[in-house]
Structure 1
Amino acid sequence: MTLTTTYPSARRAYRYKLFHSQTGNARTNNMIWFFRRVISIPQAFILLGALSMVIYFSKYNAVDPNIPVIQVPEVKNVSQVTPHTPASSQVQTNHVQVMERCEANTSMTSVTDFASLPSPIKNFLLYRHCRHYPMLLDLPGKCGGMEKSNKVFLLLVIKSSPNNYDRREVLRKTWAKERMYRGVWIRRVFILGSSSDGHEKEKLNKLLQVEQEEFSDILQWDFHDTFHNLTLKQTLFLEWVKGNCPNVRFLFNGDDDVYANTDNMVEYLQSLEDNDGSKHLFTGYLFINEKVVRWSKSKYFIPVVIQETNTYPPYCGGGGYLLSGYTALVIYKMSLNITIHPIDDAYMGMCLEKAGLEPSSHIGVKTLGLNIPSKEQDALEPCYLRQLLLVHRFLPPEMYLMWKQVNDPRLDCSPSYKLK
């Protein structure tokens, strides 16, 4: 499936990435070719003279006061932190919060068979105790402040990674638009960590800062954004909710590669009897008696040192689920006394179990794909997608095309299109 639509900002990002992916020698050779084949000797002297004047005058007049400048903060290499700074006292600034680094727990190296564990699991165990990290990008006024946060009916919480600019760009223009629907507000945040240390991290963080200047929808913390740190990302976000958006009615929590129907979400949530977000709700694709994976080659491998029991409590798949603001705060409270687990959706189930609450199943959530009644019908048939809350997972071009088709006013769906 090919999509020809390309957004200007996406093209700019692609050109930037393409240029910086070249080696220094490649860029130098291209410049030499340009001077040899395009510019004559007299033109070269004129060009060099002009460049000299630009350099000379820029030395004494570096900034034109009539030209707006985007201030990009210096990114410091601060990654882990022990002291807890209450979210209510944190203020959005243009500088990274300077906090004491949280050191590795080297005692974990003495656990049985530590040396034979996969590297991601080793790193997880060494830094499992680190729960608080500095914020790089904050949005303290996203919900209108603590007192007005009840005006936000549905907060879209989308798990993303620093590199996934193309996914975020498509979602902003499709199902994750901030808007009012049926008299209630839908808001959006992307939650991110950072890439690995070094030049790549600094470059991506500066690009994210520019992205934030334009869209104001990114929450970023200074921890390494990996699969095994998804639970950490969730707990940091829940802490942010408690301090900045405590009265939000409902939240959608999902990945940046799911197709979601936020119209259907609002309609479903408004149809709930006697629940305006102040009571328990946690619904999605339900897993019951799910076995813990012990095969060390699996992405979902969990050794006994992390979890001794062989089954997880009931939980909803992390591709996407809906929860009430009440339940979000309960999960945060429970998480303070539950050790971090690498599988974030299973960890949500652990928090619910500790609180004596249960997740529920919703037929419109398809994190494992669609169950189409006939093999002759397309799995991406818009008449099926129109009935869903979400389906997982898709590439950005597929996402955009599906959204356009589902929202086409000319789409006519017969009663035969029913999901199982």
Structure 2
Amino acid sequence: MRNIRARTVLLAGGLSLLVLHLCKDFIDLKTTKTISHLHLNVKRNNPQIRQHIKNNSHVFSWQRCQQNMSIANISGFSSLPGSIKDFLYHRHCRHFPMLLDLPDKCGGAGKSADVFLLLVIKSSPGNYDRREVLRKTWAKERLHNGMLIQRLFISGTTSSGFEKKRLNKLLEVEQREYNDILQWDFSDTFYNLTLKQILFLEWMERNCPNARFLLNGDDDVFANTDNMVEYLQSLKDNDGSKHLFTGHLIQNVGPIRSSGSKYFIPVQVQESDSYPPYCGGGGFLLSGYTALVIYNMSQSITILPIDDVYMGMCLAKAGLGPTSHMGVRTAGLHIPSSSVDGYNPCYYKEVLLVHRFLSAHMFLMWHRIHDPNLKCGSS
């Protein structure tokens, strides 16, 4: 009898381990979307758990993605820069724990159609001064022409050790005061900008699927968001439910093969010598419809580290294309003469977006273009 009991215990233990192993594999194979739906269902059904998840956004999170070591076997890998090697090792990684979440930012998925323009601003943790200026200027949450403008900063993590903890704590403090940050636990580097875009689009599909339009841009652009609302309101037969993707159009270009360039893309990352048409990533406008199309297309397109090109690749796969808007100047604004002030507000009053502004210039320009005494004319 004792031997039978012992065998029974061993058999039960073995089955338990097998079940745990199968459960782990099952969870690892699940998509973020499935876990997100579980997340939402739990929140709806239990107020205490809902609050716990809000305070601990890591409850439903992905395990750390492992390097694909086999990538080191590709031809020429050993001669690549470290940043490219790191990108290739982790290129397959698309799921990362969320450190800061705002599931109710748009009023919940069902009410997200109330958001006319969602400002999605790429910002690294250390860029506190930029975020503060934007909150007081063009990214201020408000109504313009009766249309709701909402703001989100999207971020990863930077540095390591105590510095990483301090910067994460900074974002936590900002979150408590402003409720405007989404943060994932991935390294916020240039080569991970595409990952940042995909993670945001995944979040949008879950929490803000019906937002009408989006401005997607950097935290160093000057954006005349009043003009953007007026432009978007003027569109005929498009309330955000049809295709729109417009900005500074770039076409007939391909990967830069020079290793000294910030935008270096070796053949190990992309063999093709051409890119599809795309809009400069400093800032572009798109409809909510197009944002979700891009997200769906991204599921079957290998990540390219140049995020604006990757958006163009997703559009091309969907049979859609970007368009040019003369009011979007991601390459900067051309001032006709060096004898005039390059920051004269009359040059900026009618544009939609200009890339690369210092925080002080941003603050001043916003107030100058809204000065009721500002006079602009041929004189």
TM-score of the aligned structures, taking structure 1 as reference length: 0.78
Distance 1:302 1:82, change over 3 A: farther
Name the structure 2 match of 1:407.
370
Query: Offset of 1:340 from its aligned partner?
Result: 0.6
Q: 2:342 aligns with which of 368, 379, 387?
A: 379
Name the structure 1 match of 2:196.
233
Name the structure 1 match of 2:55.
94
Q: Which amino acid aligns with 2:345?
A: P
Q: Which amino acid aligns with 1:90?
A: H
**Is the aligned partner of 1:85 residue 2:32?**
yes
Query: Offset of 1:148 from its aligned partner?
Result: 0.6
**Is the aligned partner of 1:190 residue 2:159?**
no
Contact 2:63 2:96 in 1 (8 A): no
Query: Offset of 1:305 from its aligned partner?
Result: 1.2
Query: Offset of 1:99 from its aligned partner?
Result: 3.1
Percent sequence identity over aligned pairs: 65
Q: 2:261 aligns with which of 274, 294, 298?
A: 298
Query: Offset of 1:82 from its aligned partner?
Result: 7.4
Superposition pairs for residues 313-352 of structure 1, below 5 Å? Answer: 313-352=276-315
Q: Which amino acid aligns with 1:85?
A: T
For 1:372 and 1:285, how far apart are their aligned partners in 2?
A: 17
Superposition pairs for residues 19-418 of structure 1, below 5 Å? Answer: 84-86=31-33, 87-90=36-39, 92-95=53-56, 96-97=58-59, 98-414=61-377, 416=378
Distance 1:277 1:118, change over 3 A: same
Query: Offset of 1:85 from its aligned partner?
Result: 2.9
Q: Which amino acid aligns with 2:276?
A: P
Contact 1:249 1:276 in 2 (8 A): yes
For 2:243 and 2:147, how far apart are their aligned partners in 1?
A: 20
Contact 1:83 1:99 in 2 (8 A): no
For 1:93 and 1:178, how far apart are their aligned partners in 2?
A: 22
For 1:83 and 1:115, how far apart are their aligned partners in 2?
A: 34
Q: Which amino acid aligns with 1:315?
A: Y
Distance 1:108 1:185, change over 3 A: same
Q: Which amino acid aligns with 2:178?
A: F
Query: Offset of 1:102 from its aligned partner?
Result: 1.1
Query: Offset of 1:290 from its aligned partner?
Result: 1.5
Q: Secondary structure at the match of 1:93?
A: helix
For 1:412 and 1:88, how far apart are their aligned partners in 2?
A: 53
Query: Offset of 1:127 from its aligned partner?
Result: 0.3
Query: Offset of 1:94 from its aligned partner?
Result: 2.1
Q: Which amino acid aligns with 2:134?
A: L
Name the structure 2 match of 1:47.
none
Q: Which amino acid aligns with 2:219?
A: D
RMSD over aligned Cα, in angstroms? Answer: 1.4
> 1:142-168: per-residue Cα shift (whole Å, max 9, x none)?
111111100000000000000000000
Q: Secondary structure at the match of 1:180?
A: strand
Query: Offset of 1:126 from its aligned partner?
Result: 0.2
Contact 2:193 2:306 in 1 (8 A): yes
Query: Offset of 1:204 from its aligned partner?
Result: 1.2
Q: Secondary structure at the match of 1:148?
A: helix
Query: Offset of 1:83 from its aligned partner?
Result: 5.2
> 1:163-187: per-residue Cα shift (whole Å, max 9, x none)?
0000000000011000001011000
Contact 1:82 1:131 in 2 (8 A): no
Question: Any gaps of 5 or more consecutive residues in structure 2?
Answer: 1-27, 41-52
Distance 1:107 1:371, change over 3 A: same
Query: Offset of 1:373 from its aligned partner?
Result: 3.1
Q: Secondary structure at the match of 1:322?
A: strand
What is the aligned length?
336
Contact 1:82 1:102 in 2 (8 A): no
Q: Which amino acid aligns with 1:363?
A: M
> 1:1-58: per-residue Cα shift (whole Å, max 9, x none)?
xxxxxxxxxxxxxxxxxxxxxxxxxxxxxxxxxxxxxxxxxxxxxxxxxxxxxxxxxx
Name the structure 2 match of 1:48.
none
Q: Secondary structure at the match of 1:326?
A: helix
Q: Secondary structure at the match of 1:318?
A: coil
Name the structure 1 match of 2:49.
none
Question: Any gaps of 5 or more consecutive residues in structure 1?
Answer: 1-80
Query: Offset of 1:84 from its aligned partner?
Result: 3.1
Q: Secondary structure at the match of 1:274?
A: coil
For 1:259 and 1:312, how far apart are their aligned partners in 2?
A: 27
For 2:113 and 2:357, how far apart are their aligned partners in 1?
A: 32
